[in-house]
Structure 1
Amino acid sequence: MTFSVRYKTFDQLSFADVQVYTKLPPHPFWSHVDSKVDFSFADRLCAVLYSGRGQYPYAPSLKLKIHLVQAYYGLSDRQTEEKIIGDLFIKRFLQLPVDFIGFDHSTIGLDRSRMGAAMFRACHLYILAQMYQYGLWGDRNEQWIIDSFPTNVNLKFPGAYRLIQHALIRLAQHLRKHGTKPMLEALEALPLDGATVRLSKSASASARMLAFSKLVSQAYGLLAWFENENIKPFLAEWKHLKRSRELQAILRRILQENSSPVDPGDGADEASEGRNEETGTNVPELVRFQKIPLAERPKNRIVSAVDPEARIAKRSKTIYGYKTQNLCTTGGVILDVRTIPANEHDQDATADMTATIKRFFGVTPSALLGDSAYGHGRNRARLAALGIPVVAPVPIAENPTGLFHSSRFVYDAEKDVYICPEGQQSVDKQYIRQSEGHQYSFAPHVCLSCPSRKACTSSEKGGRRVFRSDYADLYEAARVYNDSLTGRAELQEWLVVERKNKELKNDCALDGARTRSRVTLQIKAQTSAMVVNLKLLVRKLGNPKPGFLRRAPIAVG
Structure 2
Amino acid sequence: MSLRPQSALPPVPEDTARIARTAFRRGNPYLLLRDHLGPIFADTAFADLYPARGQPAYAPWRLALVTLMQFREGLSDRQAAEAVRARIDWKYLLALDLIDSGFDHSLLCEFRGRLLQHAASERLLARILDTARDQGLLKARGRQRTDSTHVLAAVRDLNRVELLAETLRAALNAVAIVAPAWLRVLAPPEWHSRYDHRIEETRLPETGAKREAYVLQVGADGYRLLDALDDADAPPPATALAAVAVLRRVWARHFVRGSGTDGEAGWVRLREVRGRGPGDRVESPYDIDARFRAKSGTDWTGYMVHLTETCDHGLPRLVVHTDTTPANVHEAVRTGAIHEALSEAGLTPSEHLVDAAYVSAEQLVAATARYGIDLIGPTRSNHSWQRRNAEAIQVADFIVDWERRRARCPEGHESTSWGEYRDAANARPFIRVSFSPGGCRPCPAKPRCTRATSRRLTLHPRAEHEALAAARKQHESEQGRRLYEQRQGIEGTISQGVRSFGLRRARYRGLAKTTFQGVATAAALNLDRLAAWFGHRPLASAHTSRFSALAT
With normalisation by structure 1, the TM-score equals: 0.79
Mapping for residues 309-348 of structure 1, pairs under 5 Å: 309-316=289-296, 317-331=298-312, 332-348=317-333
Match of 2:383 among 383, 391, 398: 398
Return the letter of the residue paired with 2:274. L
Return the letter of the residue paired with 1:306. Y
Q: Residue 216 and residue 419 in structure 1: after superposition, are their counterparts in 2 closer, same or farther (change >3 A)?
A: farther
Match of 2:458 among 436, 447, 467: 467
SS in 1 for 2:295: coil
Larger deviation: 331-340 or 52-61?
Answer: 52-61
Tell whether 2:219 aligns with 1:216: yes
Match of 1:206 in 2: 209
8 Å contact from structure 2 (residues 72, 528) kept in 1? no
> How big is the shift at 1:30?
0.5
Tell whether 2:254 aligns with 1:258: yes
Return the letter of the residue paired with 1:43. D
> How big is the shift at 1:59?
0.8
Match of 1:477 among 451, 467, 470: 470
Q: Give CA deviations for 1:229-274 in whole Å, capped at 9, x if unaligned.
A: 344xx53xx5x876x2x4344323322333345899xxxx9xxxxx
Cα separation, 2, equivalents of 1:347 and 1:310: 19
> How big is the shift at 1:370?
0.9
Return the letter of the residue paired with 1:507. S
> How big is the shift at 1:171?
2.6
SS in 2 for 1:98: coil
SS in 2 for 1:395: coil
Cα separation, 2, equivalents of 1:452 and 1:253: 57
> How big is the shift at 1:135?
1.4
Larger deviation: 143-152 or 485-494?
Answer: 485-494
8 Å contact from structure 1 (residues 368, 388) kept in 2? yes
8 Å contact from structure 2 (residues 13, 96) kept in 1? no
Cα separation, 2, equivalents of 1:498 and 1:263: 56
Mapping for residues 13-92 of structure 1, pairs under 5 Å: 20-21=19-20, 23-25=22-24, 27-39=27-39, 41-92=41-92
Cα separation, 2, equivalents of 1:132 and 1:15: 29
SS in 1 for 2:349: coil
8 Å contact from structure 1 (residues 209, 287) kept in 2? no
Q: Residue 430 and residue 229 in structure 1: after superposition, are their counterparts in 2 closer, same or farther (change >3 A)?
A: farther
Match of 2:352 among 349, 368, 374: 368
Larger deviation: 312-321 or 201-210?
Answer: 201-210
8 Å contact from structure 1 (residues 398, 405) kept in 2? no
Mapping for residues 489-508 of structure 1, pairs under 5 Å: 489-508=482-501
> How big is the shift at 1:372?
1.0
Return the letter of the residue paired with 2:182. E
Match of 2:516 in 1: 523
Return the letter of the residue paired with 1:309. D
SS in 2 for 1:75: coil
8 Å contact from structure 1 (residues 366, 388) kept in 2? yes
8 Å contact from structure 1 (residues 217, 289) kept in 2? no
Aligned-pair identity (%): 21
SS in 2 for 1:188: helix
> How big is the shift at 1:164?
2.0
Match of 1:412 in 2: 401
Match of 1:302 in 2: 282
8 Å contact from structure 1 (residues 260, 292) kept in 2? no
Tell whether 2:161 aligns with 1:161: yes
Q: Residue 21 and residue 458 in structure 1: after superposition, are their counterparts in 2 closer, same or farther (change >3 A)?
A: closer
SS in 2 for 1:302: coil
Match of 2:138 in 1: 137
Match of 1:189 among 186, 190, 195: 186
How many equivalent pairs are there?
A: 509
SS in 2 for 1:314: strand
Larger deviation: 255-264 or 328-337?
Answer: 255-264
Match of 1:553 in 2: none
8 Å contact from structure 1 (residues 372, 394) kept in 2? yes
Match of 2:116 in 1: 116
Q: Give CA deviations for 1:367-420 in whole Å, capped at 9, x if unaligned.
A: 222111121123223323222221111223131486755424443323424445
Larger deviation: 59-68 or 346-355?
Answer: 346-355
Q: Residue 318 and residue 476 in structure 1: after superposition, are their counterparts in 2 closer, same or farther (change >3 A)?
A: same
> How big is the shift at 1:12?
11
With normalisation by structure 2, the TM-score equals: 0.80
Q: Provide structure 2 residue ranges, at least 5 long, that are not aligned to the other structure.
A: 539-552
Larger deviation: 477-486 or 384-393?
Answer: 477-486
